[in-house]
Structure 1
Amino acid sequence: MSSPSVVAVAGDDPRDASAETKLTLPDTWLVDSMDPLGSSMMFVSGLIMVTRNRYLAWPCLLLSINSVINSHPLRVKEGSQAGVSVIMLGIGALLACYMPLIMIGPKQPVA
């Protein structure tokens, strides 16, 4: 029986120094970037909860939904907030604004 012969092709050896090439990055390199819209909506939602400004709560909720729709999960840093937390803060801002109107209600006349 004959053993299989191995044929070496020129440039096939990974240790060959003549086969080295310079490192070139791709044209669209992944850049870790923060989501400025989501971060600002989280800040504004907290501000709305403190001030109970009903007029800013609705645009804040719409912009938080917009930030989730336009998010790029592969471009977000590892420790940044998730899209669901931005929407939950927008809903929490709405609840914080309208809950006193529902719970307290109008004042009753004193007899």
Structure 2
Amino acid sequence: MPQDDPRDSSLETKFAPPQTWKQESADGLATSGMFLAGLIMVTRNRILAWPSLILGVSAFINQHPLRTKEGSTPPIGNLMLATFALVASYLPLILKPSSPAPSQQQTPLDFGPK
């Protein structure tokens, strides 16, 4: 048998993954950004929308494709959710109808025209 035969059992070595693959940890900032984006959608708090967007951009920039598990969610979803939360929190300011003139305003118990 030739010395460089790949089927030779004496040439076998133990498989050792690189050091960066041994530690699979969840990204805490990305998880916090996703939670904040969901909280913004529910409460429509405009102040929390900006930190959520920053955390979403951070998760997108710091993604490590070789460290992610097979079925994990890519960080682009986190960034899109943060962007849509920002839009949803500011959308009522843009689409808010103009209020009627002061003489035409109705009180809560006034149902008919004056």
**What's 1:104 paired with?**
96
Length-normalised TM-score, structure 1: 0.72
**What's 1:82 paired with?**
74
Structure with the bigger RCO (C-alpha within 8 Å, sep 6+) is 1
Matched residues, number: 101
Please identify the structure whose Cα radius of gyration is greater. Answer: 1
The CA distance in 2 between the partners of 1:64 and 1:27, in whole Å, is 28
Deviation track 1:45-104 (CA, whole Å, cap 9, x = no partner) reads 011110111111011101110111011111111222212111110111111110111111
What is the letter of the counterpart of residue 25 of structure 2?
S
Change in CA separation of 1:101 and 1:29 when aligned onto 2, cut-off 3 Å? closer
Change in CA separation of 1:103 and 1:27 when aligned onto 2, cut-off 3 Å? closer
Structure 1: gaps of 5 or more residues: 1-7
The CA distance in 1 between the partners of 2:28 and 2:102, in whole Å, is 51
Is 1:23 matched up with 2:14? yes
Change in CA separation of 1:29 and 1:92 when aligned onto 2, cut-off 3 Å? closer
- Answer yes or no: is the 8 Å Cα contact 2:20–2:67 preserved in 1: no
CA RMSD between the two structures: 2.6
Is 1:48 matched up with 2:52? no
Length-normalised TM-score, structure 2: 0.71
Identity %: 42
